[in-house]
Structure 1
Amino acid sequence: MIKAFAQTDIGRARDGNEDSFLVGDFSSEQGNRLPRVMEFSPQGGTPIFMVSDGMGGAAAGEVASSLAVKTAREKLRGLQSSGESRFVEQLVQALEAANRAILDHAKQHPQMRGMGATATLAGFFKDKIYIAQVGDSRAYLIRQNMIRQLTRDQSFVNQLIEAGKISEEEAEVHPRRNVILQALGNQGKLSVAAVSIQPCDGDYLLLCSDGLSGVVQKEEIREIVAGAPDLSEAVQRLIMFANERGGPDNITAVLSRFSGSGLPAPKENEVPVPRVLRKFEAALASDEDAAQAGSRGRLKTVWLAIILAAAGLMLAWFVAGFMIRQERQKQTGDRLSQLRNRYESYLAGNRENLKLLPASHPLLVDTARVAGFLKEARSALEQNDFNRAAALGDSAEKHLAGWKAELERESSRPPDGAAGAVLRAFWLENWGQIKQKTDAVNPGNSLPALTSAETERLAGLPSQEFHAGLQRYLQNAVDSAYPYVQTRMAALDRRHPRWQSLNDSLATARELLQTSQPSLLSSDVEEARSGSKKFLQGLDILRSLKEKLTGLRQPASPDSANLGKE
């Protein structure tokens, strides 16, 4: 069963209504233009639905849309088709006949030159919906919680959307959003688009003029239709909603619902995809077409007489320019991303070195400068200022190279005066960690605390004296920590079940403390950092051993049954 309801409204800004619609089964002469619900049986019938939006001034637009509907109805009267291709051909021929009828009327009535109309014509044939279209009146399919636009607007802004130049949101406020690329009555040769889709049980098909689709979003349409108790209420709510948005144009909606056991049940989360049968191909208007077309009298004019040829050239230029800008933007963006990645990677690998530098060190200033260049370059790129973005990228790359080289030189220099700032600062920081961990092993050690005054004194020592002092400090740490734990270990009975594992840990700690010192005293900061890690690990093992030995209970006698309990 197919039920349908259609209604048109003048809106709130127009003096007349230039929209027309058609609902009927013209294989059986059942048709109607009045606002009432109609029912059709798919078996043996061919329901037809149509919306036409006229243009060219109040009188001319109304005549054009009415003539389009009338001609299509006459062309489809007694409709009989043997198959899909023939049925689609008949829908296309109906629109082509309407196009000729409007052209002929304009020739006979010069005062109506420039009149035209959009047309979206839908028919149900052998369990499928077929749609033929000229212009920008839309067809939507609503299925469960989804809505899908089945037609493609044959408009200037839609070409820009499909080229990726503008978004759908930008199209809504584009100055040429009302310029369509073809209409009935504006050229001798049409490019009629056609699609088909398989409806499911419970689907809705909505045909509407842009007085509705131009101000009510797709999801809003779906919510209104789904929330209405019947077709007539749904259409009336759609029109009311469009008028609440200002009603800037005439509003027409043809809503039908498909139901019955003969239709497949919808699959969960399946997105309905129309099958394209004929594509719209923009074509240049001929001289004869240009002679036929004139001023439309409304912003929605197609301008085909004067502008369509220029629009084709302008669109080609526009797309070419767009492609060039896109390529430049991609190349510049890729380069900036590579620079950013190099900067962040090197920064991450040298963050510890930078942290050890004094706040006034020139390298820290250069670090901020590189980041600033990259940020400004990205901002310029987002504003399509490619030249400035490229220049800032050059500056970032130049400073990055100098910054890397200087940091590498600073990190690898021997600890002499200010040139060894990175390595000397690292050693001083490490000195403090060694003191802290040695205290954790042997609180009574004789290592001096590294006060701020002591740090300042050490920092000012000559290189050779500083290095010798560090070497003595490391050995003092070993002498304070290792014997302290070794003595406790010697007090543990060798028959204790954990003696072997604990003794192995003690040997590991001793090896780490001894083998790490040459690396820790190296003038290469990376090697010094590796040695420091091993030396501190040795102290951590000693601290852990001390805690374990403290918690162990010695056996009461050699034959004690409690041997090994903690």
Structure 2
Amino acid sequence: MPVPAPTAADTALCPNCGQPVSASAAFCEACGATLVPTEPAVSEPPAPTEGSAQTRRLGVRQSQVTTCSSCGGTIDADGYCQVCGAKAPSARDHYSETPADWVGGVCDRGVQHSRNEDAMALWAAGDRAVLVVCDGVSTSVDSDAASTAAAQAIRDVLVERLAQLSDPGQAATELAAAFVDAAAAANAAVIAVTSPNSTNAASATLAAAVVLGAEVHFANLGDSRVYFLSAADPVLLSLDDSMAQAFIARGMDRAEAEALPRAHAITKWLGRDATDIVPRTGVHTAAEPGWVVVCSDGLWNYASAPAELAAQLAAAGSESDDPVAVAAKLVEWANAQGGRDNITVALARCPAPAMPTNLESATPWVPEVEEQVENG
């Protein structure tokens, strides 16, 4: 192996004759004088930082977790198990929501990330539901705070606008406008939790769906996604704002584009430095029963194409059609593939069971597959 040439930091001058000598030499090669080797300067490592107040608040270990996952003992106020001494995970590392028996989701830290920067916010009443998933951009400061603030703001705006919806015939127009307003509210919420001194402003993606009877109204900004998976035609409803999607639009195969080194570089996001916060919107009418899936890239990384994700949904729903149980199985599967990112999966049956329907069945579809798709 070649040895790099010595630099000025590696040499010194002999105090007796003034000739250059190695900083670690015991004797001067020119005059033979005894030298006192100098100790190399050692820089102290920077003290570990705990992030801003928002990060400390969201990631604090003294959380709602009260039972030790290792031994079943009680977690004390200091965040450690009274029995085995293990530190409790943050409640934000893994949580679920189930506002109705046909709507639910799971948000998980994954395997390789040190904290969960995803967030979700769900709501349901009657035959209506709101599903929101936001993915904090890992390279930004306080991305976990950003995603949480954004998800809650979007849900709240959409719930309010649903309450004001009087004419179902105008739902597409009114909800498209509501999504734009929700994104603006989310952007303001993200900025509100961003330190004014931050040189890398907090940012996040958004994906949202409103289930209104047999209709799925959806919006996205960034690369979190909305799918509708049914027996006849599983479909990806949203369109990523990413470098991969830019290459797909030019004709590149999806699998090839999503394998590019910069595939996950997003071109739109929420945050103080965002230049375009208007989401794409659309509406899809279910011709047969299926599942609405709103997820972060921690899931679809391993099953991007609708047919691939449908196969994983089939496996996840083989034992139970409970949305939280199905979502948990999908999260477990993604973690088994490597869990390279945070994973969030929000699900809703569509049409909603509460909706009077003339469709053949409102039972959630679980396709039969001969072979499970392997990814990762």
TM-score (normalised: structure 2): 0.61
One of 208, 227, 232 as aligned partner of 2:295: 208
Q: How does 1:167-206 map to 2 (within 5 A)?
A: 167-185=253-271, 186-206=273-293
The answer to whether the aligner puts 1:70 opposite 2:152 as a matched pair is: yes
Q: CA RMSD in A?
A: 2.4
Residue 22 of structure 1: aligned partner? 121
- Please give the alpha-carbon distance, in whole angstroms, between the structure 1 residues aligned to 2:202 and 2:300: 22
One of 100, 110, 114 as aligned partner of 2:188: 100
Q: How does 1:230-379 map to 2 (within 5 A)?
A: 230=321, 231-259=323-351, 260=353, 262-265=356-359
Residue 6 of structure 1: aligned partner? 105
SS at match of 1:224: helix
**Alpha-carbon deviations, 1:110-154, whole Å to 9, x = none?**
237321110011112364211111111011111115421001111
Q: Is the CA contact 2:180–2:278 (under 8 Å) kept in the aligned structure 1? A: no
- Please give the alpha-carbon distance, in whole angstroms, between the structure 1 residues aligned to 2:175 and 2:106: 26
Runs of 5+ unmatched residues, structure 1: 26-39, 268-566
Deviation for aligned residue 1:188: 4.7
Closer, same or farther: CA 75–220 of 1 in aligned 2, 3 Å: same
Residue 53 of structure 1: aligned partner? 135
Q: Is the CA contact 1:60–1:112 (under 8 Å) kept in the aligned structure 2? A: no
Deviation for aligned residue 1:215: 1.6
Q: How does 1:507-546 map to 2 (within 5 A)?
A: none
Deviation for aligned residue 1:172: 2.6
- The amino acid of 1:21's aligned partner reads M
SS at match of 1:257: strand
Deviation for aligned residue 1:266: 7.3
The answer to whether the aligner puts 1:153 opposite 2:240 as a matched pair is: yes
Residue 130 of structure 1: aligned partner? 217
SS at match of 2:176: helix
- Please give the alpha-carbon distance, in whole angstroms, between the structure 2 residues aligned to 1:77 and 1:140: 21
Q: How does 1:399-410 map to 2 (within 5 A)?
A: none
- Please give the alpha-carbon distance, in whole angstroms, between the structure 2 residues aligned to 1:237 and 1:72: 26
- Please give the alpha-carbon distance, in whole angstroms, between the structure 2 residues aligned to 1:77 and 1:168: 35
**Alpha-carbon deviations, 1:22-74, whole Å to 9, x = none?**
1104xxxxxxxxxxxxxx422xxx42111000014486110110010122233
- Please give the alpha-carbon distance, in whole angstroms, between the structure 2 residues aligned to 1:167 and 1:266: 36
- Please give the alpha-carbon distance, in whole angstroms, between the structure 1 residues aligned to 2:189 and 2:325: 35
Residue 363 of structure 1: aligned partner? none
Closer, same or farther: CA 258–125 of 1 in aligned 2, 3 Å: closer
Runs of 5+ unmatched residues, structure 2: 1-99, 362-376
Closer, same or farther: CA 103–188 of 1 in aligned 2, 3 Å: farther
- Please give the alpha-carbon distance, in whole angstroms, between the structure 2 residues aligned to 1:201 and 1:162: 29
Q: Is the CA contact 1:10–1:17 (under 8 Å) kept in the aligned structure 2? A: yes
SS at match of 1:55: coil
- The amino acid of 1:257's aligned partner reads R
Closer, same or farther: CA 154–263 of 1 in aligned 2, 3 Å: farther
- The amino acid of 2:137's aligned partner reads M
Q: Is the CA contact 2:120–2:134 (under 8 Å) kept in the aligned structure 1? A: yes
Residue 224 of structure 1: aligned partner? 312
Closer, same or farther: CA 56–14 of 1 in aligned 2, 3 Å: closer
Q: How does 1:333-482 map to 2 (within 5 A)?
A: none
**Alpha-carbon deviations, 1:384-412, whole Å to 9, x = none?**
xxxxxxxxxxxxxxxxxxxxxxxxxxxxx
One of 218, 236, 250 as aligned partner of 1:163: 250
Closer, same or farther: CA 65–266 of 1 in aligned 2, 3 Å: farther
TM-score (normalised: structure 1): 0.41
Task: Name the one with the larger strand percent.
Answer: 2
Q: Is the CA contact 1:50–1:121 (under 8 Å) kept in the aligned structure 2? A: yes
- Please give the alpha-carbon distance, in whole angstroms, between the structure 1 residues aligned to 2:210 and 2:183: 13
Q: Is the CA contact 1:224–1:237 (under 8 Å) kept in the aligned structure 2? A: no
- Please give the alpha-carbon distance, in whole angstroms, between the structure 2 residues aligned to 1:212 and 1:255: 13
SS at match of 1:94: helix
The percent of aligned pairs where both chains have the same amino acid is 25
Q: Is the CA contact 1:18–1:61 (under 8 Å) kept in the aligned structure 2? A: yes
Task: Name the one with the larger helix percent.
Answer: 1
**Alpha-carbon deviations, 1:329-377, whole Å to 9, x = none?**
xxxxxxxxxxxxxxxxxxxxxxxxxxxxxxxxxxxxxxxxxxxxxxxxx
Count of matched residue pairs:
248
